[in-house]
Amino acid sequence: MLKKETMIRSIDAMHPNKLEIDLAADLIRQGGTVVFPTETVYGIGASIHSTEGIRKIFEAKGRPSDNPLIVHVASLEMMHPLVKGPLSPRVISLIESFWPGPLTLILEKSKNVPDPVTANLDTVAVRMPRHPVARALIEAAGVPIAAPSANLSGKSSATRANHVIDDLNGRVDAILCSDGCEIGLESTVLDLSGDQAVLLRPGIITKEEIENVIGNIVSPTSHEVSDSVPRSPGMKYTHYAPKAPMLMAVGDLASMTEAIHAQLMSYDRSVRIGILCTDETIGGYTDENLVAISLGSRSDLRGMSSRLFSTLRSFDESNVDLILAESFPEVGIGEALMNRLRKACGNRILNQESTMDERPGIVSMSSR
């Protein structure tokens, strides 16, 4: 695509400057693309009513056109025209419990949502973010804003301004730089278009929290995920891949660290190895060819989740040849954290027989 002039503005997260917001809202209404912070990750937004704006989102990200976009609204008045019929009691109670916030609902769509936004599906994904900049921008634009994560397709979602600029400067009309992607993982996606609620993407709002409000929900089976028309088309694409190949160690803390140390022994010291670890284990990784980064304390799953994407990107910046990662219990928020980690390492497990042969071919491996 042709490189374009991108307007880059710093904006206060808590008290966004009205003039800057109005300028960005004008761009949205005129069919432009504006990157803005949300409480989950940065989004790249365009008006759902602008064919040109929506086309520019897919082009800027290199996103396949069969991967639908989440539509962001600032109010229920803005949401109602997007969905078919009145909201069910189940939807209303979820909205009352979790909006504004990091929960995306998939509902049957009305004719007001153009097909390119939803990749021709008959459902629409809707979310009301709570970040003040996102809220102010959508309100000022006065139109629902379609906004996928603001990263090049295949890379980690961006949670910091410099990461957005790295990926999208010259590819979008404006970038609003701000703090405040405090959650750091994308929203929980819940499909409510059928009788049975289905959790399509785990997030900080957990399965248990949702079940407390609407009762039993299910996660899609691998069979559904591999269908040619999956329930959530985005699931079939590679995500979050750091530049270097990544392997994950599983098991209890002792077996994980043992597996990582055994693996380290098999590489020559000229190989730069990134270690994704925790406060509890970082003291064990001191060799000078190692770039060890702690996600935080194992007792703080929320904090670790919020740092995952920025940590994956710092491994890119450190030019490591390989990344070895610890893993986490898949309960509560751990489910979302592990979902992203598994995708980042393409599900390659370090200490499991079936995948041991898939060790990436790093040059200068020694037999010591």
By CB under 6 A, tell whether 31 contacts ligand AMP: no
The span from the CA of 54 to the CA of 32, in Å, is 9
Q: Which of 124, 244, 249, 333 binds ligand AMP (CB under 6 A)?
A: 124
Pick the piece of the chain touching ligand AMP (CB under 6 A) from 123-131, 176-184, 215-223, 313-321. Answer: 123-131
The span from the CA of 120 to the CA of 137, in Å, is 26
By CB under 6 A, tell whether 184 contacts ligand AMP: no
Residue 15's identity, in one-letter code, is H
By CB under 6 A, tell whether 38 contacts ligand AMP: no
Q: Can you give the binding site for Mg ion, defined by CB under 5 A?
A: 149
Least gap, CB of 149 to Mg ion (angstroms): 3
| Sign of the Cα pseudo-torsion (343, 346, 349, 350, in order) | negative
Closest CA to 135 of 251, 11, 250: 11
Please tell me the total number of residues recorded for the chain in this structure. 368
Closest-approach residue to Mg ion (CB) = 149
Least gap, CB of 2 to Mg ion (angstroms): 24
Q: Which of 54, 74, 106, 324 binds ligand AMP (CB under 6 A)?
A: 106
Angle at 99 between CA 193 and CA 66, to 5 degrees: 45
Radius of gyration of the chain (CA): 21
124 binds, among ligand AMP, Mg ion, none (CB under 5 to 8 A by kind): ligand AMP
The span from the CA of 152 to the CA of 240, in Å, is 10
The span from the CA of 175 to the CA of 73, in Å, is 19
Which is closer to Mg ion, CB of 149 or CB of 305?
Answer: 149
Least gap, CB of 97 to Mg ion (angstroms): 25
By CB under 6 A, tell whether 116 contacts ligand AMP: no
The span from the CA of 164 to the CA of 152, in Å, is 9
Interface residues with ligand AMP (CB under 6 A) are: 67-70, 106, 118, 121, 123-125, 148-149, 186, 189, 200, 231-235
